[in-house]
């Protein structure tokens, strides 16, 4: 007897029953503990009730008698009769997923109504036709049934219907005692539908923040996922105080947005929010920009002097980005502001008072800089009252699609466009690691809006470096592994050689062959003169 596992579904167990052998199977738990027996009658009953996805443990009996086994053996033709019966059509037509049945030679015997709905293929086109002929006619791109006939094992692959719609096909063989294939049952699911459901589930995990007016705070793009929800909950609490806040995280991860959020929720929200990037200004000019200067303080100074950002932010909030790049000599002056709310302009001896909340941010490890003597320890502890570790976008993948949608809407409005993005494109971009985080995402969306010629943005419209993005799961077949390798090599060749002609030469194939492969792999083919 073959051993079945209690966790298997009825659909999976069907492959272990055939007309040529004893139709009683022993069932064991995952820990190899005997549970009972599964009979062909129980399987037939489950199929008749449309319970193909239920675990077989629900249909197991503790024991069977010898006469029962003999009776099962004598009725081994039941499975053959079932596939030829009207009951088969009734059961499979009741399923939401598509069902495709062939015989052991690959001749189509049956497709259910769901398959016709998903693919647009009718019974008249395929019944009695060999799967190989359907490929030659261009109706389908590949056949999971033929792959199963070749390997005598279940196969799952992505199939393209008439060069457009994509479906996932999982083929399971029904084998005889002599290990011959009697039937192949394939379940079919619409990839687009699966992606849509996945994104709907992801969106249910998100909370859009109840923010102040977007035109006042610039926070219309805040999306809260599981990785950032706790950050904004803490920001709500901290905003009610004047405690110093240090935001740490990669460039473009949203540190500035959190700083604005804290200001918008604070008692200073009606006052100004000022921002200074300490790394964007040469070191010798940071002091003048931050503290201001008196007339004639240095060569090139304005005759009337200048008020610094610190003084301009009086009663408001000052956000110092990349604080780790602030020169050591200026850290002393900033410490006095933090401790005593006092400072002096460049070239002045007069001490000025300022009431300002300071929020700082950096992509560097300030604790390490302190140990290296590159950042003052006393200033570090003064600024580091409350620390926010802002995770990179690759750790917040559930936020990627809502952010893409938000920026797509923003740039559509800005450039008077009506662009949309396919679900496949959304799914493709969720597999990208976004080293530039939200800033890179916004840049890409704007680029796609202004450079694409059609209203629907698909995977093939993405830039070359993104064509190397692949699903994070391991390939399930040799065909999929080969396709991944081809995509990676083509993308690398295009990046290095710029044109399809030069890339084709480097890959030692013809330019036409390269273009055809790119179209098949949904890689963008640039217009070349």
Lowest mean pLDDT among 188-197, 304-313, 396-405: 188-197
Tell me the average pLDDT of the chain. Answer: 80
Give the list of residues 6+ apart from residue 175 with CB closer than 8 angstroms, or none. Answer: 15, 18, 152, 181, 182
What is the residue-wise DSSP string for 113-171? HHHHHHH---HHHHTT-BHHHHHHTTSBS--HHHHHHHHSS-EEEEEEETTTEEEEEEE
Which residues on adjacent β-strands are paired with residue 108?
A: 102
pLDDT above 90: percentage of residues in the chain:
23
- C-alpha 333/C-alpha 377 separation (Å) is 14
Looking at per-residue confidence, does 380 or 497 come out higher? 380
Q: How confident is the model at residue 246 (pLDDT cuts 50, 70, 90)?
A: very high
How far, in Å, are 199, 200, 417, 437 from residue 204 at the CA level?
A: 9, 6, 28, 22
Whether residue 521 is predicted with pLDDT greater than 80 in this model: the reply is no
In CATH, 85-190 is 3.30.450.20? yes
Q: How confident is the model at residue 72 (pLDDT cuts 50, 70, 90)?
A: very low
Tens of pLDDT, residue by residue over 81-132, are 676 677 778 888 888 889 999 988 888 988 999 899 888 899 899 998 999 8
How far, in Å, are 292, 400, 475 from residue 280 at the CA level?
A: 17, 28, 44
pLDDT of 153 reads: 86
Q: What is the pTM of this model?
A: 0.55
Lowest mean pLDDT among 274-278, 303-307, 472-476: 472-476
pLDDT of 216 reads: 40
Tens of pLDDT, residue by residue over 333-374, are 899 889 888 888 888 888 889 999 999 999 999 999 999 999
Residue 262 neighbours by CB distance under 10 Å: 29
Q: Are 321 and 278 in contact (CB under 8 A)?
A: yes
Residue 319 neighbours by CB distance under 10 Å: 26
- C-alpha 201/C-alpha 253 separation (Å) is 24
The torsion angles phi and psi of 208, rounded to 5 degrees, stand at: -85, 130
- Domain 3-69 class in CATH: alpha beta
Structural domain boundaries of the chain?
Answer: 3-69, 85-190, 226-393, 478-520
Whether residue 416 is predicted with pLDDT greater than 90 in this model: the reply is yes
pLDDT of 273 reads: 93
- Kindly state the helix (H) or strand (E) to which residue 353 belongs, with its residue range: strand 352-353
pLDDT of 356 reads: 93
Question: Mean pLDDT across the stretch 321-343?
Answer: 89
Highest mean pLDDT pick, 52-56, 156-160, 383-387, 495-499: 383-387
Looking at per-residue confidence, does 395 or 199 come out higher? 395
pLDDT of 206 reads: 53
pLDDT of 212 reads: 39
Where helices occur in 315-436 by DSSP H, the ranges are 328-340, 366-371, 377-383, 400-415, 423-430
How far, in Å, are 251, 257, 262 from residue 393 at the CA level?
A: 11, 14, 20
Fold of 226-393: Rossmann fold (3.40.50)
Structure tokens belonging to residue 371: 């140990």
Q: Are 18 and 79 in contact (CB under 8 A)?
A: yes
Whether residue 223 is predicted with pLDDT greater than 70 in this model: the reply is no
Give the list of residues 6+ apart from residue 319 with CB closer than 8 angstroms, or none. Answer: 256, 259, 260, 263, 273, 274, 275, 276, 359, 360, 361
Q: How confident is the model at residue 1 (pLDDT cuts 50, 70, 90)?
A: very low
pLDDT of 266 reads: 92
- C-alpha 91/C-alpha 100 separation (Å) is 13
């Amino acid at each position: 007897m073959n051993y079945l596992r209690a966790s298997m579904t009825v659909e999976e167990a069907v492959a272990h029953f055939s007309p040529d052998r004893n139709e009683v199977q022993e069932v064991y738990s995952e820990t190899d503990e005997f549970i009972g027996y599964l009979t062909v009658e129980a399987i037939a009953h489950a199929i008749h009730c449309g319970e193909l996805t239920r675990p077989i443990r629900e249909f197991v009996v503790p024991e069977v008698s010898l006469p029962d086994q003999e009776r099962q053996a004598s009725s081994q033709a039941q499975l053959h009769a079932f596939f030829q019966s009207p009951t088969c059509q009734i059961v499979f037509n009741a399923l939401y997923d598509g069902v495709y049945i062939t015989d052991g030679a690959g001749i189509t015997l049956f497709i259910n109504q769901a398959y016709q709905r998903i693919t647009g293929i009718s019974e008249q086109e395929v019944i009695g036709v060999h799967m190989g002929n359907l490929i030659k006619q261009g109706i389908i791109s590949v056949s999971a049934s033929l792959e199963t006939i070749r390997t005598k094992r279940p196969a799952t692959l992505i199939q393209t219907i008439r060069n457009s719609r994509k479906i996932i096909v999982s083929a399971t063989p029904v084998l005889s005692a002599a290990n011959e294939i009697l039937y192949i049952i394939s379940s079919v699911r619409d990839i687009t539908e699966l992606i849509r459901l996945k994104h709907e589930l992801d969106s249910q995990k998100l909370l859009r923040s109840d923010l102040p007016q977007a035109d006042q705070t610039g926070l219309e793009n805040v999306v809260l996922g599981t990785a950032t929800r706790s950050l904004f909950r803490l920001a709500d609490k901290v905003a009610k105080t004047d405690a110093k806040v240090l935001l740490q995280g990669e460039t473009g991860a949203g540190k500035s947005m959190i700083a604005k959020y804290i200001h918008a929720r604070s008692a200073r929200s009606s006052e100004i929010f000022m921002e200074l990037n300490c790394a964007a200004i040469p070191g010798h000019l940071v002091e003048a920009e931050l503290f201001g200067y008196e007339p004639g303080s240095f060569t090139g100074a304005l005759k009337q002097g200048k008020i610094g950002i610190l003084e301009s932010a009086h009663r408001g909030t000052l956000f110092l980005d990349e604080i780790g790049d602030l020169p050591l000599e200026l850290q002393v002056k900033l410490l006095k502001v933090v401790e005593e709310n006092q400072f002096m302009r460049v070239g002045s001896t007069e001490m000025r008072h300022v009431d300002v909340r300071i929020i700082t941010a950096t992509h560097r490890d300030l604790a390490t800089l302190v140990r290296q003597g590159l950042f003052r320890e006393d200033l570090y502890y003064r600024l580091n009252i409350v620390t926010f570790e802002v995770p990179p976008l690759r750790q917040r993948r559930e936020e990627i699609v809502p952010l893409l949608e938000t920026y797509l809407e923003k740039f559509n409005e800005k450039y008077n466009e009506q662009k949309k993005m396919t679900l496949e494109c959304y799914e493709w971009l969720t597999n990208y690691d976004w080293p530039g985080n939200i800033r890179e995402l916004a840049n890409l969306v704007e680029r796609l809006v202004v450079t694409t010629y059609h209203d629907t943005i698909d995977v093939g419209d993405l830039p070359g470096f993104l064509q190397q993005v692949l699903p994070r799961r391991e390939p399930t077949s040799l065909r999929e592994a080969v396709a991944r390798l081809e995509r990676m090599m083509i993308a690398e060749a295009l990046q290095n050689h710029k044109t399809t002609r030069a890339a084709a030469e480097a890959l030692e194939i013809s330019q036409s062959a390269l273009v055809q492969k790119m179209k098949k792999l949904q890689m963008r083919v640039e217009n070349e003169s």
